[in-house]
Amino acid sequence: MKSKFLLIVITVLFFNLTSAQSNKVDILKTNNGSLKIQPITHGSLILTYNNKTIYVDPYGGGELYKNLESPDLVLITDIHGDHLDQKTLDSIDTSKAIFIVPKAVADKLPVQYNSKITVLDNGQGVHRLDLFIKAIPMYNLPEERGSKHPKGRGNGYILTIDGKQIYISGDTEDIAEMRALQNIDIAFICMNLPYTMDINQAASAVLEFQPKVVYPYHYRGSEGFSDIHQFKNLVNAKNPFIDVRLRDWYTTN
């Protein structure tokens, strides 16, 4: 009887775990297949297309990546610990991974990663794994000496995957380069004071470059969480056709 009860408990726990994991994965159709989007935590996410797995700013500890596919590509946006998290990197199998990083990040990675690294400066792009990755600026406004995110140090990224353009903002404010984006299918937009921007700046920028789908992410600031529901209201009040997708990036943290 006890063994039967134990089996039921294990089955329920397994079902709940796998259900929770599957609930976190969004699937978007591309021209020739589908793109899987999995929020992990804060500014970290995983994209999967054509059996290729892309980690963006892996952070938060190895347990968050346990039982997930190891990366073929790792994108890192900046040097801060919630983007370049060496402890988390050390806990992940990156043996087959290519790293795309800004120079400031490359300078901080241990030497064992050197053979894996491609450095991109703002404005540069590279083809890898049948994808095109372009680095674009991310920085604070106004541009001031000593700012948390000076222009040129970190990278936002635009990934072109099977005809779809995916924008990853990194830590930035509503800069001109963001506002000038065109034909973005999916955008991951940060919003957390005092490090990046507030929801009004984020909504204003999104309404200008009009991505088809927007995920607010990286929304934990020094005084708690940004109001992503109000961000959605601000966007959809003026453009109801932008699909603002609210996901919980902080359940495990």
pLDDT digits (tens, 9 = 90+) for 1-59: 444 433 333 333 333 333 333 347 999 999 999 999 999 999 999 999 999 999 999 99
CB 205 within 8 A of CB 178: yes
pLDDT of 193 > 80? The answer is yes
Identify the three-state secondary structure at position 165: strand
CB 135 within 8 A of CB 121: yes
Q: What is the pLDDT of residues 206-221, one digit of tens each?
A: 999 999 999 999 999 9
- State the chain's mean pLDDT as an integer: 90
Q: Quick one: the chain helix, strand, coil %, rounded to 5?
A: 25, 30, 45
Identify the three-state secondary structure at position 237: helix
Domains of the chain are 23-244 (3.60.15.10)
Q: Report CA Rg, the chain.
A: 19
Q: Can you give the pLDDT at residue 201?
A: 98
Q: Can you give the pLDDT at residue 223?
A: 86
CB 180 within 8 A of CB 207: no
pLDDT above 90 as % of the chain: 86
For residue 6 the two structure tokens come to: 């134990």
Q: Binning pLDDT at 50, 70 and 90, where does residue 252 land?
A: low
Q: Can you give the pLDDT at residue 146?
A: 78
More confident residue, 101 or 10: 101
Q: Can you give the pLDDT at residue 5?
A: 38
Q: Can you give the pLDDT at residue 144?
A: 79
Residues 6+ apart with CB under 8 A from 134: 120, 123, 124, 125, 157, 158, 159, 160
Distances in Å between the Cα of 182 and the Cα atoms of 93, 139, 186, 207 are 35, 19, 11, 12
pTM exceeds 0.85 for this model:
yes
Q: Can you give the pLDDT at residue 24?
A: 78
Identify the three-state secondary structure at position 104: helix
Q: Can you give the pLDDT at residue 46?
A: 97
Q: What is the pLDDT of residues 67-78, one digit of tens each?
A: 999 999 999 999
